[in-house]
Structure 1
Amino acid sequence: MKYKVAVLGATGMVGQKFIQLLENHPWFEISALMASERRVGKAYGDEVEWLISSDVPENVRDMEMLPMDPRNVDADIVFSALPADIAREVEPKFAQEGFAVASNASAFRMEEDVPLVIPEVNAEHLGLIDVQKRNRGWDGFIVTNPNCTTIMLVLTLKPLLDLGLAKVNVATMQALSGAGYPGVPSMSVIDNVLPFIRGEEDKVETEPLKLLGKFTGSGIDFASITVSASCHRVPVIDGHLEAVFAEFGGNIEVNDVIEAFRSFKPIEGLPTSPEEVIVVRDEPDRPQPRLDRDAGNGMSVVVGRVRKDGDSGIKYLVLGHNTVRGAAGASILNAELMVKEKLI
């Protein structure tokens, strides 16, 4: 027997990626698709502008789209691909009515009683679910995954904490799909790099501190490291590439960092989990978005060019698939973890 899942914001880029990733999922089956009022009552395949593969999956092609109202939905889990402003209004309605909401939206990520989770990094933060339900009087709950850029970065920072990580500087080269569809105008980005993404740097500088913090039983004590980010949009379809400069409390060696990356283990038993969380490439010109974004079915991050940066510094590149590991795949992995932990 599979868990029934619904998708909020089903027609957008991330909503489509949810549908693609859930098509043959061994634990989950789509029972409802929800979208804006103007699409309600229409067949998904007739209404969606499908962008991410050749055809709309057969299992949802004829599914009638529903309004974003919990009274109309038969599901165990609700995946949210909504914009932040709409998510802030809609997601609590589902949580209040007893649904488990796995959200890709930014609306509640930094709320004190809302888990912000990367399963391999901070699974214990799911303990906030009980705090949230008590605080808000909800029968259900909201669990969020981080910003797409944050996920790639933090997956590499977690194994470095035990080596004395103190400060991180990161410069990102972010794919166009991260801006949604139709996204960035072609005349703005072809033959160009856009040196500003509104709101992005703040997310990349603050979300890691919560993710790498400690669950106290009632909240999160944020990590004491500092993160400084500069974020840029580049003419790549999928795959965020980040140049990371990590400073440590004392002398650090490249081999120790590489060993920490390669020793970072996935959570066993989750269908979407990759065999390797961090793939380390030795070639001098890797990772590259076209070559490496699909590693681990898009759920691994790929690290390369690990090298010294003074006695107490290491610099490296990390790449991840922003709409898989950085968005829909992240929410699905969170939901799988919650099922495994019997929270759903």
Structure 2
Amino acid sequence: MTVRVGVLGATGAVGQRLIQLLDPHPSFEITTLTASDSSAGRSYRDAAKWRVDSPIPTGVADMTVQATEPDSVPDDVDLLFSSLPSSVGAEVEPAFCEAGYVLSSNSSNARMDADVPLVIPEVNADHLDLLEVQRDERGWDGAMVKNPNCSTITFVPTLAALTQFGLESVHVSTLQAVSGAGYDGVTSMEIIDNAIPHIGSEEDKLETESRKLLGDFDGAELTQNSVEVAASCNRIPTIDGHLENVWVETEEDISADDAAAAMESYPSLDLRSSPDPLIHVFSEPDRPQPRMDRTLGGGMAIATGGIRESPFGLQYNCLAHNTIRGAAGASVLNGELLLENGYL
């Protein structure tokens, strides 16, 4: 089955990654691209400053960019991938759902809404059925699923692997790449020879989204996990790849070997974009590293290493490619899950 798809916010950094990942995808056919009013009516080649590390797909380059509104998208589009700024997404995404479109969205708006599934398929695929609650409560023919923040995606799969030991508290300090702020997000004068120990609203996203992702869904209501999470977020001068230092306290005693085995054996899914293994465990204490390890599993794997026991619980480092696993790839994977579960 080939699904006709569109990309909302197609000219931005995540929109470009989406196009790069969707163009060769055997299940998805790009038929519609939208962007801001200043880009609408222009060819995609002219509207987008293409910055992705592969040539712009020939089948997309000459497509005409549409305005980001339901009336501009053909009725036969089965799935929309959204990479809109959250301020825009908060306004227009519900309008698309009301018009009957299904959205797999990377935008941060509505992630914590009680009836919006926030999904990492390998962690909480069952939460997707919140869409039934969402449609009942909102009267939508369409639906909206979200993937979490790029820094949240990096460490939550490792926590999911450790839930068998009883999670009590988590402390995480992030070292986040500049691409996470978008092309114009951090100037060179700010970040070269520097580190910025604050990223607006990022700490809150890690602390709240992680508890929702690890929560339990009973078919009608989602109960968040009770684990306490504290985060500190830092911007560093790497291009791609968020590296995170994590300390975990568990109810049961857990050795470094137990943790490594749990992460190594944590299952992937039988979906095209889900890597096997999902979590790559390094024995070397100085890995993972962004430049060397961010493209594991096509950029969709989580890398971890430096696992050891400490006075503050289990300690380890983890890494993910923030614009692939942490953004565009996560949305594509959620699209595959929607297709697998009959929502398209």
Q: TM-score, with normalisation over the residues of structure 2?
A: 0.98
Cα distance in 2, alignment partners of residues 60 and 86 from structure 1: 24
Which shifted more, 208-217 or 249-258?
A: 249-258
Matched position secondary structure for 1:95: helix
Say whether residues 1:56 and 2:56 are aligned partners: yes
Report the secondary structure of 1:279's partner residue. strand
| TM superposition shift of 1:118 | 0.3
Equivalent residue, structure 1, for 2:288: 287
Q: Equivalent residue of 1:228, what SS?
A: strand
Post-superposition CA distance 1:279-334 (Å, at most 9, x none):
00111211000000000000001000000013x71100000000000000001001
Q: Is the Cα–Cα contact under 8 Å of residues 164 and 248 in structure 1 kept in the other structure?
A: yes
**Cα distance, 1:71 vs. partner?**
2.3
In 1: Cα distance, 2:263 partner to 2:23 partner: 31
Q: Is the 8 A contact 1:14 1:328 kept in 2?
A: yes
Alignment partner, residue 198 of structure 2: 196
2:137, 2:305 → 1: CA distance?
Answer: 44
Q: Unpaired runs of 5+ in structure 1?
A: none
C-alpha distance in structure 2 between counterparts of 1:217 and 1:267, whole Å: 21
Q: Partner residue of 1:68? A: 68
| Change in CA separation of 1:54 and 1:3 when aligned onto 2, cut-off 3 Å | closer
Residue equivalent to 1:278? 279
Amino acid of the structure 2 residue aligned with 1:223: N
Matched, 1:18 2:18: yes
Opposite residue 217 of structure 1, the aligned amino acid is G
Deviations 1:165-202 (A, max 9, x none): 21100000000000001120101100000000000000
Identity of matched residues, %: 50
How far is 1:127 from its partner?
1.2
Residue identity opposite 2:24 in structure 1 = N
Amino acid at match of 2:62: D
Supply the distance in 2 between the matched residues of 1:284 and 1:258 (Cα, whole angstroms).
13
CA distance in 2, matches of 1:18, 1:261: 28
> Which amino acid counterpart does residue 296 of structure 1 have in structure 2?
G
- Paired with 2:38 and 2:85, the residues of 1 have a C-alpha distance of 17
CA distance in structure 2 between the aligned counterparts of 1:250 and 1:181, rounded to whole angstroms: 44
| Corresponding residue of 1:305 | 306
Structure 1 stretch displaced more, 77-86 or 66-75: 66-75
Q: How many angstroms does 1:216 deviate by?
A: 2.1
Matched, 1:9 2:9: yes
| Structure 1 Cα separation of the partners of residues 268 and 253 of structure 2 | 28
Shift of 1:54: 4.7
8 A Cα contact 1:77 1:102, kept in partner: yes
Which of these residues, 111, 120, 123, is aligned with residue 121 of structure 1? 123
Tell me if structure 2 keeps the 8 A contact 1:3–1:77: yes
Unaligned runs of 5+ in 2: none
Q: Hey, which bits of structure 1, 4+ residues long, moved more than 4 A?
A: none
Amino acid paired to 1:18: L
Q: 2:195 and 2:18 mapped to 1: Cα distance? A: 29
Asked if the contact 1:10–1:16 (Cα under 8 Å) also holds between the matched residues in 2, the reply is yes
CA contact (8 A) 1:171 1:230 kept: yes
Kept after mapping to 2: 8 A contact 1:201/1:229: yes
Matching of residues 191-270 of structure 1 within 5 Å: 191-268=193-270, 270=271
Distance 1:222 1:46 in 2: 45
CA distance in 1, matches of 2:304, 2:39: 42
CA distance in 2, matches of 1:143, 1:3: 17
Whether the aligned pair in 2 keeps the contact of 1:26 and 1:271 (CA below 8 Å) is no
Please give the root-mean-square deviation of Cα atoms over the aligned residues, in Å.
0.9
In the alignment, does 2:311 pair up with 1:319?
no
Query: How much does 1:157 deviate?
Result: 0.3
CA pair 29-258 structure 1, distance change in 2 beyond 3 A: same
Aligned to 1:136: 138
Deviation digits for residues 117-171 of structure 1 (CA, Å, limit 9, x no counterpart): 0001101101110100011110001000000000111011001011122110000
Give the deviation of 1:47 after TM superposition: 1.7
CA drift at 1:96 = 0.7
| 2:166 corresponding residue in structure 1 | 164
> Which residue in 2 is equivalent to 1:146?
148
Task: After superposition, give the CA deviation of every residue in 1:52-98 in whole Å (9 maximum; x if it has no partner).
Answer: 12532111100000011222223100000001010001111111111
Find the aligned partners of 2:59 and 2:328 in 1 and give their Cα distance.
Answer: 18
Shift of 1:31: 0.4
Corresponding residue number in structure 1 for 2:80: 78
Task: Confirm whether residue 187 of structure 1 aligns to residue 173 of structure 2.
Answer: no
Cα separation, 2, equivalents of 1:26 and 1:54: 18
